[in-house]
Amino acid sequence: MAENLLLQALSGLASASSLFLVAAGLTVIFGVTRIVNFAHGSLYMLGAYLAWTLVTALPRGPLGFWGGVLGAALLVGLIGVLVEVLLLRRIYRAPELFQLLATFGVVLIVQDLALLVWGPQDLLGPRAPGLRGSVEILGLRFPLYDLFLIAVGPAVLGLLLLLFHRTRWGTLVRAATQDREMVGALGVNQRLLFTSVFFLGACLAGLGGALQLPRESVNLHMDLAIIVEAFVVVVVGGLGSLVGAFLAALLIGELHAFGILVFPRITLVLVFLVMAVVLVLRPHGLLGRPPEAPPAGAGGAEPPLRPAPPALRRLGAAALAAAVLLPPFADAYALSVLTEMAIFVLFAASLHFIMGPGGMASFGHAAYFGLGAYAAALLAKWAAAPMAAGLLLAPFAAGLFGLLFGWFCVRLSGVYAAMLTLAFAQIAWSVAFQWVEVTGGDNGILGVWPDAWAADPLAYYYLTLAFCLGATLLLRRVLHAPFGYALRAQRDSPLRAEALGVDAFQVRWLAFSLAALAAGIAGGFFAYAKGSVFPTALSIPRSVDALLMVLLGGVRTLSGPIVGAIAFTGLQEQLMRLVELWRLALGAVIVALVLFFPQGLAGAARAAYERRHGPAGA
Amino acid sequence: MSDTILETEGLTKEFRGFVAVSDVDLRVRRGTIHGLIGPNGAGKTTCFNLLTKFLQPTRGTIRYDGRDITGKKPAEVARLGLVRSFQISAVFPHLTVLENVRVALQRQRGGSFDFWRSETLLRQYDDRAMALLEDVGIAPYAHLQAGELPYGRKRALEIATTLALDPVMMLLDEPTAGMAHEDVDRIVALVKRVSAGRTVLLVEHNLRVVAGLCDTITVLTRGRVLAEGDYASVSRNPEVIAAYLGTEADKVGVPQHV
Ligand SMILES: Nc1ncnc2c1ncn2[C@@H]1O[C@H](COP(=O)(O)OP(=O)(O)OP(=O)(O)O)[C@@H](O)[C@H]1O
Ligand SMILES: [Mg+2]
């Protein structure tokens, strides 16, 4: 028994090492550039693929293998430089959510490029020459390569610390981590510094990926799998802290190793629970420091809300008339797309509610959408309840979890808030994914069909339209009501709001829960529209969809999320139907959006309108 | 009803060993205008932050209107009628000037958790808000975005917002800083007018304002109370002259803080 535990601990250490390599790069990059690089997992994956190509192409033997691994790391470093120069350099001053989104666009692009180059099948690499066998520890066999990996973690940490403390470049990096402006003032070439830091971080990610070659097969899911874990490690350790990342990697590695033994069913939840607990107890991670300036919400400068100008009202009325009058002439496919649009309009509006006027960042809004969907589906599956009951339960369940998760999330701001919302969403996702008996796991819940009276797609469309549009208009109304003013007031100046007796925490908490409830309504209708629910309903890509809709439309206008949801749903639908590499296209659209259209479609339309007519409404 | 509305005992605040406010016993009489003066860095703003609970004191107690408020939250204190303004003007930059005041009005009438917009309610707020803006002289800017106001007008807006809460006691941190001459006179007149039936605690560098307004003055240096009394006695106190007015004692009443 004791031997088993020791081996488990050792294999935990081995995983911790690779996790640390990735997390170290992520945290160093964040420390200097303040960018949370979603694409870091993609760099890791590219490291593994490139290592496979190099190692299989180079002559067999130690030189070929290790040369391949190091070559892959360097190549990934160069790819990182490319990403930095072409994209990130232009968005260092953008709001955090834009940065997260832009790097997520890179994730999508790399996924399809990797698919193009290496194909969909898993690739197996050779074992490491000289480290093929295993050693005997307390009578049990342990792979030699894992032992080697255990040593790699501390070795890299030591080298990095030496680099940062013993070289001029390292001193500059540390100075920049503490105070970005100061380095600019010192007359250091900031661009070069940022690019070189990105090179180093990307190399580390590539090395982490390349070193996985002898351990596991290379596949297209490596990127998201590792990035979420690396986020956890970096956030738990404290953003920007190398030693913190190392400690957190050990913690998470061991948690995985022993979690499997003790709670085999909830290993995934465990990791995110630990992260949530750490963030609640130490809002800036184990060794992190609070950010210099409280980061603003996702909005940036925002004009006051004004009643919609006549032109917009007329446009809205026309769109509504079209949404009501045209569908009887639509075919089944068009109807399903229209239903989805109505659902996503509400989903996007609920996210906008907290992001724009609320000034809070959420990277896990799909949690509440998915919880609504699962609540409806579970009720249908286990209680054979009528549709009305499911649709009613959906917002309640989502709202309740909104209250619970929100109580933690709204205390934090900026990146940490985004990460905590992400963590809670991943907890929800893990439960749906791992609790197979109840949720069906990856197979989802099937047969969630509307009752007879709403079974006709047209009838269901009208039902969805009525409720989703109604809820969207209600949210809009709340924003113009006293609560909406309190919400925007606390976003603009929390101190001033407190001084006026507005309890900023309560206002944020309630707004968060209200948004969750609204997302739950959307989720319930989504379940019955699709006839099924899968864990993807609460996954990261779903959260990103919502963010894209909001940003596509524009954060700063109330009509933004509506326009954005319609545009996004239409766009994605067409892309998936017509373009083989739709991820690549979508990723490119995201990147272009962030670079050239930061105020979104409705924002751009509004700017154009104001140029002609003077200040207008939202 | 006791004569003292606000009273502190041994109020102390340390920042990592640095004592910003040290053992301050402050008594503010109900219905008076009480001045808090002192050189830069004396601890005046820190005192305000302690009194309004934006900072937790290291030691000491605060009693307001007969109850101990040492453990309360800022929003709770505000709801008890103890309302402050900020030295660095704090407005809601992305709301209009009118909306800034309205947020305070709706809070004062208990409407911050009102999810429904009722036109009559909002109109009622608007009328009152306009009257307040009129009072501080920025009514013509009602529909401008507050962030676009020049500095002095922002201060005026802050006072209007504070007044909107109909406070029992107002804490004003340098209300006239950065204002043009005629605006200063307007604010002085305003403070005098609205102080009827209220208590005001005022931090000011402009001694002309202090002399004209305050019934009692407390002088703070390096976190400690140096002297207390009416303007005439305080301005004659040699210690005050040495600490605060420096060598320019002859210019009492003129020095203008920059
Ligand atoms: N949060 C803080 N952390 C550390 N020191 C602080 C903090 N707030 C204030 N101090 C220090 O406490 C002292 C008193 O500051 P305070 O702002 O209260 O002075 P003041 O009397 O309002 O000055 P002024 O006339 O310039 O407004 C100063 O030395 C200041 O540096
Ligand atoms: Mg001050």
Local confidence pLDDT in tens for the 258 residues of chain B: 678 899 999 999 998 888 899 899 999 999 999 999 988 888 999 999 999 999 999 999 999 998 999 999 998 999 899 999 888 778 899 899 999 999 898 887 766 667 776 767 777 888 899 999 998 888 999 999 998 888 888 888 998 999 998 899 999 998 888 778 888 888 888 888 888 889 999 998 888 888 888 999 999 988 898 888 888 888 888 887 777 655 444 444 444 443
Reply yes or no on whether the pLDDT at A358 is more than 50: yes
- A281 burial (CB, 10 Å; 0-12 / 13-18 / 19+) is exposed
Domain contains B257: no
- Residue B246's pLDDT is what? 55
* Identity of the residue numbered A333: Y
Which of A65-74, A609-618, B135-144 is most confident? Answer: A65-74
User: For residues B77 and B54, what is the distance between their CA atoms, to the nearest angstrom?
Assistant: 10
Pair (A142, A266) in one structural domain: yes
**Which chain A residue is nearest to residue B117, measuring alpha carbons?**
A481
- Residue A260's pLDDT is what? 78
Confidence of residue A291 (pLDDT cuts 50, 70, 90): low
- Residue A512's pLDDT is what? 97
User: For residues A183 and A165, what is the distance between their CA atoms, to the nearest angstrom?
Assistant: 16
Confidence of residue A318 (pLDDT cuts 50, 70, 90): confident
Domain contains A615: no
Distance from CA of A586 to the nearest CA of B (A): 33
Domain contains A604: no
Distances (CA, A) of A557 to A307, A327, A617, B148: 11, 28, 8, 19
Domain contains A455: yes
Q: In this structure, are strands B199-203 and B169-173 parallel, antiparallel, or unpaired?
A: parallel
Pair (A433, A516) in one structural domain: yes
Distances (CA, A) of A158 to A12, A153, A163, A165, A249: 20, 9, 9, 11, 15
For the ranges A291-305, A381-395, A492-506, which has the lowest average pLDDT? A291-305
The percent of residues in chain A predicted with pLDDT above 70, rounded, is 94
Reply yes or no on whether the pLDDT at A280 is more than 70: yes
Domain contains B221: yes
Domain contains B59: yes
Confidence of residue A300 (pLDDT cuts 50, 70, 90): very low
End-to-end Cα separation, chain B, in angstroms: 40
Distance from CA of A560 to the nearest CA of B (A): 18
End-to-end Cα separation, chain A, in angstroms: 66
Which one is predicted more confidently, B137 or A41? A41
Pair (A252, A386) in one structural domain: no
Number of independent structural domains in chain A: 2
- Residue B132's pLDDT is what? 92
Pair (A281, A384) in one structural domain: no
Summarised one tens digit per residue, pLDDT across range A123-148 is 988 887 877 877 777 777 888 888 89
- Residue B218's pLDDT is what? 92
Pair (A338, A477) in one structural domain: yes
Q: Which atom of ligand 1 is nearest to the CA of B38?
A: 21
CA neighbor of A488 nearest in space, from A308, A399, A618, A608: A618
Which one is predicted more confidently, A590 or A606? A590
- Helices marked H in A451-501: 457-480, 482-492, 494-499
| Residue A515 phi, psi (nearest 5) | -65, -40
Cα Rg, chain B, nearest whole Å: 18
Exposure string of A591-618, with b = 16+ CB inside 10 Å and e = fewer, is bebbbeebbbbbbebbeebeeeeeebbb
Locate A142 and state its tokens.
């342990």
Question: What are the helix and strand counts (H, E) for chain B?
Answer: 9, 11
Domain contains A262: yes
Domain contains B25: yes
Report yes or no: A90 at the B interface, CB cutoff 8 Å: no
| Ramachandran assignment for A384, one of left (phi > 0), alpha (psi -120 to 50 degrees), beta (any other) | left
Locate B138 and state its tokens.
């920025």
Which H helix or E strand runs over B223? Answer: none
Report yes or no: A485 at the B interface, CB cutoff 8 Å: yes
User: For residues A526 and A530, what is the distance between their CA atoms, to the nearest angstrom?
Assistant: 6
Last residue of a domain, one of A472, A506, A539: A539
Mean pLDDT of the residues in chain A? 86
The response to whether residue B46 sits with its C-beta less than 6 Å from ligand 1 reads yes
Domain contains A320: no
Domain contains B27: yes
Summarised one tens digit per residue, pLDDT across range A144-196 is 888 899 999 999 999 999 998 998 888 888 887 777 666 666 666 778 888 99
Give the Å distance between the CA of B70 and the centre of ligand 2.
21
Q: In this structure, are strands A140-143 and A134-137 parallel, antiparallel, or unpaired?
A: antiparallel
Tell me how many degrees the CA angle B175-B74-B35 measures, rounded to the nearest 5: 35
Pair (A18, A151) in one structural domain: yes
- Whether the CB-CB separation of A551 and A603 falls below 8 Å is answered with no
Partners of residue B147 in chain A, C-beta under 8 Å: 301
The CATH number for B115's domain is 3.40.50.300
Summarised one tens digit per residue, pLDDT across range A498-538 is 988 888 999 999 999 999 999 999 999 999 999 999 999 99
Give the Å distance between the CA of B94 and the centre of ligand 1.
28
Range of the domain at A465: 333-539
Distances (CA, A) of B91 to A354, A384, B100: 21, 54, 7
User: For residues B82 and B6, what is the distance between their CA atoms, to the nearest angstrom?
Assistant: 10
- Residue B35's pLDDT is what? 92
| Ion ligand 2 residue ranges (Cβ < 5 Å) | B 44-45, 87
Which residue in B75, B86, B99 is closest to A304 by CB distance?
Answer: B99
Pair (A156, A253) in one structural domain: yes
Number of independent structural domains in chain B: 1
| Ramachandran assignment for A193, one of left (phi > 0), alpha (psi -120 to 50 degrees), beta (any other) | alpha
The percent of residues in chain A predicted with pLDDT above 90, rounded, is 38
Which H helix or E strand runs over A279? Answer: helix A267-281
- Residue A302's pLDDT is what? 59
Which residue in B84, B93, B113 is closest to A499 by CB distance?
Answer: B84
Q: Which of B92, B96, B143 to mutate to test the interface with A (most CBs of A within 10 A)?
A: B92
Reply yes or no on whether the pLDDT at A295 is more than 50: no
Pair (A346, A461) in one structural domain: yes
Range of the domain at B86: 4-252
Domain contains B165: yes
Q: Which residues pair with B108 in a beta bridge?
A: none
Ligand nearest to the CA of B220: 1
- Whether the CB-CB separation of B6 and B64 falls below 8 Å is answered with yes
Pair (A527, A446) in one structural domain: yes
- Residue A573's pLDDT is what? 82
Last residue of a domain, one of A539, A554, A579: A539
The response to whether residue B20 sits with its C-beta less than 6 Å from ligand 1 reads yes
